[in-house]
Amino acid sequence: MLRNLFILLLAAPLFLGCGKDPNKPTVVLPTNISTQISSNFGEVTVTVSADNANFYKVLFYVNGTPTTQVSTDGVATYTFASSGTYTLVSQAHSSETDFISKTETIVITVSTGTSGAPTTGYESPISYPNYSLVWQDEFNGTSLSSDWLYDIGGNGWGNNELQYYNNQNINLSGGILEITAKEEAFNASNYTSTRIKTQGQKSWKYGRVDVRAALPEGQGIWPALWMLGDNISTVGWPSCGEIDIMELKGGVGFNDRTVYGTIHWNELGTHAQYGGDKTLTSGKFSDEFHVFSIIWNQTSITWLVDNAVYHTVDITDPEKGELHENFFLIFNVAVGGDFPGSPDATSIFPQSMYIDYVRVFQ
């Protein structure tokens, strides 16, 4: 009897040891995970951050199979071999088995596109804190999506422009949209070009717009990335409002290296405008790709080149009410007109604007 009791007493600690270890620390999971993603012709860099994280993992998926990179600073880089849409999973770890994650997709273009397009330049992130990507066009494929329409005609377009807009001076190849201005006679015009728009298809009120583009150059060349109010067909211009994300006045000196960001509106029955400009310290905007952006909210519009702010305008004045409505996008290359003047003997044709992508965040 005493022997049996002794055995039970020896076994008791073994039974108690199967419970929770009071000496094991409580796991604290990371919180507030966020990511920034940038890509440059196949090479993708992911930067992950989170509170209370000890290390990070980023999983790059190709055909369902992940390549995992471990990082203590949250930065991971991977090069995709071909164009396509890929899944990325970012993990913030407190331990090997304790982590939180964020899953995202990214569209990759490996080819540098049209042969005349530059192969270098600034690349913007695919995401921003406190914004969601609501629409994009990476121009993969060989034709425009149904989100785009053409403007056709040669009526001067209110600016005494010299070109006739058709639907032919456009090319999509390798993820690059090319719009070309040519010196050729057509329908009483001496120049042709193309102008595309999302009118009636896609429009937005407030947000951030990024357009990665390499610009044409030369006297009389006028590339533009801009927006008009949805109600232009009923109220006309400038009562519909206009937001110029980027315009360039081609020509020697400062012209080929200066871009302008401007708003237009109706001020007490009269056309009003206000804007700023950004000049490169060296080179021209035709040398490589740059990202032209606006950040537009209830109080202001800010213009950026390569994510550097160069101009901001307050839009809280009641007279600027048209700048608080939905706007659609327009991309074009004009020839001549009141802004750049006419081509001259120094002008070289054809001239192309290359657009890598457009992305809208809200």
Neighbours of 62 (CB within 10 A): 14
Radius of gyration (Cα) for the chain, nearest Å?
28
Provide DSSP, 177-198: EEEEEEEEEETTEEEEE-EEE-
- Catalytically active residues are 242, 247
CB burial of residue 359 (10 Å; 0-12, 13-18, 19+): buried
3-state DSSP call for residue 8? helix
Would you call the peptide bond into 238 cis, given omega within 30 degrees of 0 as the criterion? Answer: yes
CA distance 47 to 56: 10
Q: Nearest Cα to 90, choosing from 55, 48, 129, 132?
A: 48
Residue 206, CA distances (Å) to 3, 154, 225, 234, 235 in order = 83, 32, 17, 21, 20
270 burial type by CB count under 10 A (0-12 exposed, 13-18 middle, 19+ buried): exposed
In angstroms, the CA 312 to CA 352 distance is: 29
Q: Which residue type occupies 58?
A: V
Amino acid in the structure at residue 35: T
DSSP lists the bridge partners of residue 163 as: 191
Between CA 295 and CA 306, with CA 300 as vertex, the angle to 5 degrees is: 30
Please name every residue paired with 262 in a beta bridge, in sequence order, or none if there are none: 244, 275
